[in-house]
Protein backbone atom coordinates (compact mmCIF):
# COMPACT_ATOMS: atom_id res chain seq x y z
CA UNK A 1 0.00 0.00 0.00
CA UNK A 2 1.33 3.43 -0.88
CA UNK A 3 1.22 6.56 1.23
CA UNK A 4 3.04 9.04 -1.00
CA UNK A 5 -0.04 11.18 -1.65
CA UNK A 6 -2.17 10.37 1.41
CA UNK A 7 -0.68 13.15 3.52
CA UNK A 8 -0.24 15.98 1.05
CA UNK A 9 -1.88 19.12 2.49
CA UNK A 10 -3.31 17.11 5.41
CA UNK A 11 -3.49 18.91 8.77
CA UNK A 12 -1.56 16.64 11.12
CA UNK A 13 -0.77 17.01 14.82
CA UNK A 14 2.03 15.05 16.50
CA UNK A 15 2.17 15.05 20.30
CA UNK A 16 5.61 14.24 21.67
CA UNK A 17 6.99 15.30 18.30
CA UNK A 18 10.41 16.39 19.59
CA UNK A 19 11.10 12.91 20.93
CA UNK A 20 12.52 9.77 19.39
CA UNK A 21 9.70 8.26 17.34
CA UNK A 22 7.83 11.55 17.07
CA UNK A 23 10.66 13.49 15.43
CA UNK A 24 11.31 10.73 12.90
CA UNK A 25 7.60 10.74 12.08
CA UNK A 26 7.47 14.55 11.77
CA UNK A 27 10.38 14.62 9.36
CA UNK A 28 8.64 12.09 7.15
CA UNK A 29 5.30 13.93 7.31
CA UNK A 30 6.91 17.18 6.20
CA UNK A 31 8.54 15.45 3.26
CA UNK A 32 5.13 14.03 2.32
CA UNK A 33 3.68 17.56 2.16
CA UNK A 34 1.61 17.57 5.34
CA UNK A 35 0.89 20.69 7.41
CA UNK A 36 2.40 19.62 10.73
CA UNK A 37 1.91 20.90 14.26
CA UNK A 38 4.09 19.52 17.05
CA UNK A 39 3.20 19.70 20.75
CA UNK A 40 5.86 18.64 23.23
CA UNK A 41 6.25 19.37 26.95
CA UNK A 42 10.06 19.18 26.73
CA UNK A 43 10.40 17.54 30.12
CA UNK A 44 14.17 17.30 30.67
CA UNK A 45 14.12 13.69 31.90
CA UNK A 46 12.31 12.46 28.79
CA UNK A 47 13.20 12.27 25.09
CA UNK A 48 12.53 15.76 23.72
CA UNK A 49 15.56 17.19 21.94
CA UNK A 50 15.51 20.43 20.00
CA UNK A 51 18.20 19.07 17.69
CA UNK A 52 15.83 16.36 16.44
CA UNK A 53 13.91 18.93 14.38
CA UNK A 54 16.39 21.79 14.26
CA UNK A 55 16.49 21.76 10.47
CA UNK A 56 12.67 21.53 10.18
CA UNK A 57 11.56 24.35 12.48
CA UNK A 58 10.61 26.71 9.67
CA UNK A 59 8.42 23.99 8.16
CA UNK A 60 6.29 23.14 11.22
CA UNK A 61 4.32 24.73 14.04
CA UNK A 62 6.08 23.96 17.32
CA UNK A 63 4.20 24.38 20.59
CA UNK A 64 6.09 23.77 23.83
CA UNK A 65 3.43 22.68 26.31
CA UNK A 66 2.03 19.70 28.16
CA UNK A 67 -0.91 18.26 26.22
CA UNK A 68 -3.05 18.76 29.33
CA UNK A 69 -2.57 22.55 29.29
CA UNK A 70 -5.75 23.66 27.53
CA UNK A 71 -4.87 27.36 27.60
CA UNK A 72 -1.66 26.72 25.65
CA UNK A 73 -2.82 24.16 23.07
CA UNK A 74 -6.51 24.85 22.35
CA UNK A 75 -5.93 27.11 19.36
CA UNK A 76 -3.95 24.39 17.59
CA UNK A 77 -6.56 21.61 17.81
CA UNK A 78 -9.50 22.67 15.59
CA UNK A 79 -9.67 21.09 12.14
CA UNK A 80 -6.81 18.66 12.71
CA UNK A 81 -7.45 15.70 10.43
CA UNK A 82 -5.00 13.19 11.94
CA UNK A 83 -3.40 13.15 15.39
CA UNK A 84 -0.44 10.92 16.18
CA UNK A 85 -0.56 10.77 19.96
CA UNK A 86 2.97 9.87 21.06
CA UNK A 87 3.21 12.09 24.14
CA UNK A 88 4.18 10.04 27.20
CA UNK A 89 6.44 9.90 30.18
CA UNK A 90 8.35 6.68 29.59
CA UNK A 91 10.28 4.93 32.33
CA UNK A 92 9.34 1.62 33.88
CA UNK A 93 11.60 1.97 36.92
CA UNK A 94 10.84 5.70 37.19
CA UNK A 95 7.12 5.02 37.34
CA UNK A 96 7.64 2.81 40.39
CA UNK A 97 9.80 5.41 42.10
CA UNK A 98 7.38 8.26 41.35
CA UNK A 99 3.97 6.81 40.45
CA UNK A 100 2.05 10.04 41.02
CA UNK A 101 4.19 11.98 38.56
CA UNK A 102 3.68 9.20 36.04
CA UNK A 103 -0.08 9.39 36.67
CA UNK A 104 -0.14 13.16 36.15
CA UNK A 105 2.01 13.23 33.01
CA UNK A 106 0.38 10.25 31.39
CA UNK A 107 -3.20 9.59 32.46
CA UNK A 108 -4.33 13.03 33.62
CA UNK A 109 -2.73 14.96 30.77
CA UNK A 110 -3.99 12.43 28.23
CA UNK A 111 -7.56 12.53 29.50
CA UNK A 112 -7.58 16.33 29.43
CA UNK A 113 -6.15 16.28 25.91
CA UNK A 114 -8.63 13.76 24.51
CA UNK A 115 -11.59 15.57 26.05
CA UNK A 116 -10.40 18.88 24.60
CA UNK A 117 -9.66 17.35 21.20
CA UNK A 118 -13.11 15.75 21.07
CA UNK A 119 -14.73 19.13 21.80
CA UNK A 120 -12.66 21.16 19.32
CA UNK A 121 -11.99 18.67 16.54
CA UNK A 122 -14.55 15.86 16.71
CA UNK A 123 -14.15 12.83 14.47
CA UNK A 124 -10.41 13.40 14.18
CA UNK A 125 -8.44 10.22 13.49
CA UNK A 126 -6.17 9.53 16.48
CA UNK A 127 -3.32 7.01 16.37
CA UNK A 128 -2.07 6.21 19.86
CA UNK A 129 1.24 4.46 20.54
CA UNK A 130 0.87 1.80 23.20
CA UNK A 131 3.57 -0.59 24.39
CA UNK A 132 4.47 -4.25 24.75
CA UNK A 133 4.77 -3.46 28.48
CA UNK A 134 0.98 -3.57 28.65
CA UNK A 135 1.18 -7.38 28.49
CA UNK A 136 3.59 -7.84 31.40
CA UNK A 137 5.18 -11.30 31.69
CA UNK A 138 3.89 -13.37 28.75
CA UNK A 139 1.75 -16.43 29.34
CA UNK A 140 2.59 -17.65 25.82
CA UNK A 141 4.70 -16.65 22.82
CA UNK A 142 4.33 -14.96 20.48
CA UNK A 143 1.97 -12.57 22.26
CA UNK A 144 -1.11 -11.68 20.23
CA UNK A 145 -3.68 -8.95 20.89
CA UNK A 146 -5.88 -11.38 22.86
CA UNK A 147 -3.22 -11.94 25.51
CA UNK A 148 -4.27 -10.62 28.96
CA UNK A 149 -3.01 -7.16 29.84
CA UNK A 150 -1.14 -7.56 33.14
CA UNK A 151 1.68 -4.96 33.25
CA UNK A 152 4.39 -5.33 35.88
CA UNK A 153 4.96 -1.62 36.52
CA UNK A 154 2.97 1.59 36.94
CA UNK A 155 3.96 2.97 33.53
CA UNK A 156 2.56 -0.15 31.85
CA UNK A 157 -0.67 0.23 33.85
CA UNK A 158 -0.96 3.84 32.73
CA UNK A 159 -0.25 2.99 29.08
CA UNK A 160 -3.07 0.47 29.27
CA UNK A 161 -5.35 3.01 30.93
CA UNK A 162 -4.70 5.63 28.26
CA UNK A 163 -5.37 3.09 25.53
CA UNK A 164 -8.71 2.46 27.22
CA UNK A 165 -9.41 6.21 27.24
CA UNK A 166 -9.00 6.18 23.47
CA UNK A 167 -11.31 3.18 23.13
CA UNK A 168 -14.06 4.86 25.17
CA UNK A 169 -13.82 8.12 23.23
CA UNK A 170 -14.09 6.10 20.03
CA UNK A 171 -17.04 4.02 21.18
CA UNK A 172 -18.89 7.16 22.28
CA UNK A 173 -18.38 8.55 18.75
CA UNK A 174 -16.34 11.50 19.95
CA UNK A 175 -13.10 10.55 18.16
CA UNK A 176 -11.89 7.89 15.73
CA UNK A 177 -9.06 6.03 17.41
CA UNK A 178 -6.65 3.17 16.92
CA UNK A 179 -3.71 1.94 19.00
CA UNK A 180 -0.40 0.38 18.00
CA UNK A 181 1.34 -1.55 20.76
CA UNK A 182 5.04 -1.18 20.01
CA UNK A 183 7.82 -3.63 20.68
CA UNK A 184 11.44 -2.55 21.43
CA UNK A 185 11.99 0.34 19.00
CA UNK A 186 15.50 1.58 18.22
CA UNK A 187 17.22 3.97 15.85
CA UNK A 188 18.41 7.57 15.45
CA UNK A 189 17.19 10.48 17.61
CA UNK A 190 16.63 8.47 20.76
CA UNK A 191 17.67 10.13 24.03
CA UNK A 192 21.09 8.95 25.25
CA UNK A 193 21.29 10.59 28.68
CA UNK A 194 20.17 7.60 30.74
CA UNK A 195 19.25 3.93 30.34
CA UNK A 196 15.65 4.21 31.52
CA UNK A 197 14.03 4.19 28.06
CA UNK A 198 15.28 1.12 26.24
CA UNK A 199 18.56 -0.69 26.67
CA UNK A 200 19.68 -1.14 23.04
CA UNK A 201 20.36 2.53 22.41
CA UNK A 202 22.15 2.62 25.76
CA UNK A 203 24.35 -0.27 24.59
CA UNK A 204 25.14 1.80 21.48
CA UNK A 205 26.05 4.85 23.55
CA UNK A 206 28.35 2.81 25.77
CA UNK A 207 29.99 1.18 22.78
CA UNK A 208 30.62 4.46 20.98
CA UNK A 209 32.07 5.99 24.14
CA UNK A 210 34.42 3.02 24.52
CA UNK A 211 32.77 1.74 27.70
CA UNK A 212 32.14 -1.89 28.51
CA UNK A 213 28.53 -2.90 27.83
CA UNK A 214 26.77 -4.47 30.83
CA UNK A 215 24.12 -7.12 30.27
CA UNK A 216 22.01 -7.74 33.35
CA UNK A 217 21.36 -11.38 34.15
CA UNK A 218 22.29 -14.16 31.76
CA UNK A 219 21.25 -12.18 28.68
CA UNK A 220 19.19 -15.09 27.41
CA UNK A 221 15.94 -13.11 27.33
CA UNK A 222 14.43 -12.96 23.85
CA UNK A 223 13.59 -9.52 22.45
CA UNK A 224 11.97 -8.37 19.20
CA UNK A 225 13.64 -5.17 17.98
CA UNK A 226 11.98 -2.88 15.44
CA UNK A 227 13.80 -0.12 13.58
CA UNK A 228 12.18 3.29 13.89
CA UNK A 229 11.66 3.81 10.13
CA UNK A 230 9.45 0.71 10.06
CA UNK A 231 7.43 2.16 12.95
CA UNK A 232 7.00 5.45 11.07
CA UNK A 233 5.74 3.57 8.03
CA UNK A 234 3.21 1.68 10.16
CA UNK A 235 1.99 4.86 11.84
CA UNK A 236 1.47 6.55 8.49
CA UNK A 237 -0.51 3.60 7.17
CA UNK A 238 -2.69 3.48 10.28
CA UNK A 239 -3.36 7.22 10.15
CA UNK A 240 -5.35 7.02 6.91
CA UNK A 241 -6.88 3.56 7.25
CA UNK A 242 -10.54 3.07 8.07
CA UNK A 243 -9.76 -0.61 8.65
CA UNK A 244 -7.79 0.36 11.78
CA UNK A 245 -10.47 2.46 13.44
CA UNK A 246 -11.57 1.12 16.81
CA UNK A 247 -8.87 -1.56 16.99
CA UNK A 248 -5.58 -2.21 18.78
CA UNK A 249 -2.65 -3.83 16.99
CA UNK A 250 0.74 -5.23 17.91
CA UNK A 251 3.69 -3.88 15.97
CA UNK A 252 6.85 -5.96 15.83
CA UNK A 253 9.49 -7.26 13.44
CA UNK A 254 8.64 -10.92 13.94
CA UNK A 255 12.29 -11.85 14.49
CA UNK A 256 13.73 -12.13 17.99
CA UNK A 257 17.29 -12.30 19.30
CA UNK A 258 18.63 -12.52 22.84
CA UNK A 259 19.83 -9.54 24.85
CA UNK A 260 23.32 -11.08 24.88
CA UNK A 261 23.28 -11.39 21.08
CA UNK A 262 22.28 -7.74 20.81
CA UNK A 263 25.11 -6.70 23.14
CA UNK A 264 27.61 -8.79 21.19
CA UNK A 265 26.50 -7.21 17.91
CA UNK A 266 26.87 -3.70 19.32
CA UNK A 267 30.26 -4.50 20.86
CA UNK A 268 31.59 -5.89 17.59
CA UNK A 269 30.28 -2.91 15.59
CA UNK A 270 31.73 -0.33 17.98
CA UNK A 271 34.96 -2.10 18.96
CA UNK A 272 34.23 -2.46 22.66
CA UNK A 273 33.56 -5.35 25.04
CA UNK A 274 30.55 -6.64 26.94
CA UNK A 275 29.96 -8.77 30.01
CA UNK A 276 27.18 -10.07 32.21
CA UNK A 277 26.35 -8.39 35.51
CA UNK A 278 23.85 -9.04 38.31
CA UNK A 279 20.43 -7.48 37.92
CA UNK A 280 19.98 -4.33 40.04
CA UNK A 281 16.87 -4.92 42.19
CA UNK A 282 14.88 -2.11 40.56
CA UNK A 283 15.49 -3.55 37.08
CA UNK A 284 14.78 -7.14 38.12
CA UNK A 285 11.34 -6.05 39.33
CA UNK A 286 10.28 -4.92 35.83
CA UNK A 287 11.97 -7.67 33.80
CA UNK A 288 9.32 -9.51 31.74
CA UNK A 289 11.52 -12.44 30.62
CA UNK A 290 11.19 -13.60 27.02
CA UNK A 291 8.77 -11.52 24.99
CA UNK A 292 7.92 -11.49 21.30
CA UNK A 293 4.83 -9.87 19.82
CA UNK A 294 2.69 -11.35 17.06
CA UNK A 295 2.07 -8.57 14.53
CA UNK A 296 0.24 -10.72 11.98
CA UNK A 297 -3.09 -8.89 12.50
CA UNK A 298 -1.60 -5.54 11.48
CA UNK A 299 0.29 -7.11 8.58
CA UNK A 300 -2.86 -8.79 7.27
CA UNK A 301 -4.99 -5.66 7.74
CA UNK A 302 -2.67 -3.16 6.02
CA UNK A 303 -0.09 -5.21 4.14
CA UNK A 304 2.71 -3.70 6.24
CA UNK A 305 6.05 -5.49 6.35
CA UNK A 306 9.21 -4.34 8.17
CA UNK A 307 11.96 -3.42 5.72
CA UNK A 308 14.89 -3.22 8.12
CA UNK A 309 16.50 -6.23 9.74
CA UNK A 310 18.25 -5.85 13.08
CA UNK A 311 21.83 -5.59 11.80
CA UNK A 312 21.02 -3.07 9.04
CA UNK A 313 19.14 -0.88 11.52
CA UNK A 314 21.95 -1.20 14.05
CA UNK A 315 24.59 -0.03 11.59
CA UNK A 316 22.41 2.90 10.46
CA UNK A 317 21.92 3.92 14.10
CA UNK A 318 25.63 3.72 14.87
CA UNK A 319 26.47 5.85 11.82
CA UNK A 320 23.98 8.48 12.99
CA UNK A 321 25.39 8.74 16.51
CA UNK A 322 28.97 8.77 15.31
CA UNK A 323 28.07 11.89 13.35
CA UNK A 324 25.62 13.56 15.76
CA UNK A 325 26.38 12.00 19.14
CA UNK A 326 27.56 15.25 20.72
CA UNK A 327 23.95 16.49 20.58
CA UNK A 328 22.73 13.42 22.50
CA UNK A 329 25.50 12.11 24.75
CA UNK A 330 26.36 15.33 26.60
CA UNK A 331 23.31 17.56 26.78
CA UNK A 332 19.84 17.20 25.38
CA UNK A 333 18.94 20.50 23.81
CA UNK A 334 15.49 20.75 25.39
CA UNK A 335 16.32 24.03 27.15
CA UNK A 336 16.38 25.90 23.84
CA UNK A 337 12.84 24.85 22.93
CA UNK A 338 10.54 27.77 22.20
CA UNK A 339 7.05 28.01 20.82
CA UNK A 340 7.34 28.67 17.10
CA UNK A 341 4.40 29.20 14.78
CA UNK A 342 4.78 28.98 11.06
Asked if residue 235 is part of any domain, the answer here is yes
Percent of the chain with pLDDT over 70: 95
The answer on pLDDT for 5 being more than 70 is yes
Mean of pLDDT values over 73-102: 90
Decide if pLDDT at 131 tops 70: yes
Mean pLDDT across 16-43: 97
With a CB cutoff of 8 Å and minimum separation 6, the contacts of 105 are 41, 43, 66, 88, 89
Within-domain flag for 293? yes
Q: Which domain holds residue 160?
A: 11-336
Give residue 268's pLDDT. 98
Q: Tell me whether residue 61 is in a domain.
A: yes
**pLDDT of 238-267, one tens digit each?**
999 999 999 999 999 999 999 999 999 999
Residue 1 belongs to some domain of the structure: no
> Concatenated DSSP letters for 276-342?
EEPPPHHHHTT---S--B--HHHHHHH-------HHHHHHHHHHHHHHHGGGTTT--GGGG---B--
Task: Provide the CATH number for the domain around residue 144.
Answer: 3.40.50.720
Q: Name the more confident of 113 and 197.
A: 113
At 331 the pLDDT is 56
Distance of CA 25 to the CA centre of its chain: 10
How big is the chain by its Cα radius of gyration, in Å?
19
Half-sphere exposure of 339 (CA within 13 A, CB side): 9
Distance separating alpha carbons of residues 149 and 145, to the nearest angstrom? 9
Task: Give pLDDT, residue 111.
Answer: 97
Task: Give the confidence band of 62 by pLDDT, cuts at 50, 70, 90.
Answer: very high
Rounded mean pLDDT, 1-21:
89
Residue 162 domain flag: yes
Domain presence at residue 93: yes
Residue 215 falls inside a structural domain = yes
Tens digits of per-residue pLDDT, 152-191? 999 999 999 999 999 999 999 999 999 999 999 999 999 9
| Structural domain count, the chain | 1
| β partners of residue 177 | 126
pLDDT value at residue 282: 76
On whether residue 91 sits in a domain, the answer given is yes
Residues 280-308 have pLDDT tens digits of 887 777 788 899 999 999 999 999 999 99
The mean pLDDT of the chain is 93
Amino acid sequence: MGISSDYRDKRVLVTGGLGFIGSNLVRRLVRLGASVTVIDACYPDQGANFYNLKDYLEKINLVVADIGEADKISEYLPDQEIVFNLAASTSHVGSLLNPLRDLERNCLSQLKFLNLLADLSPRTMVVYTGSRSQYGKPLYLPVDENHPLRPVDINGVHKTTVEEYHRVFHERNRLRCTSLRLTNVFGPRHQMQHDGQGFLNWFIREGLLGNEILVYGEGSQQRDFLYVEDVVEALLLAGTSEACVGKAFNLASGTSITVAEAARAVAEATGTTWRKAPFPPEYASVEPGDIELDASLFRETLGWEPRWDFHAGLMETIVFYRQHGNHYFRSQEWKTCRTRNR
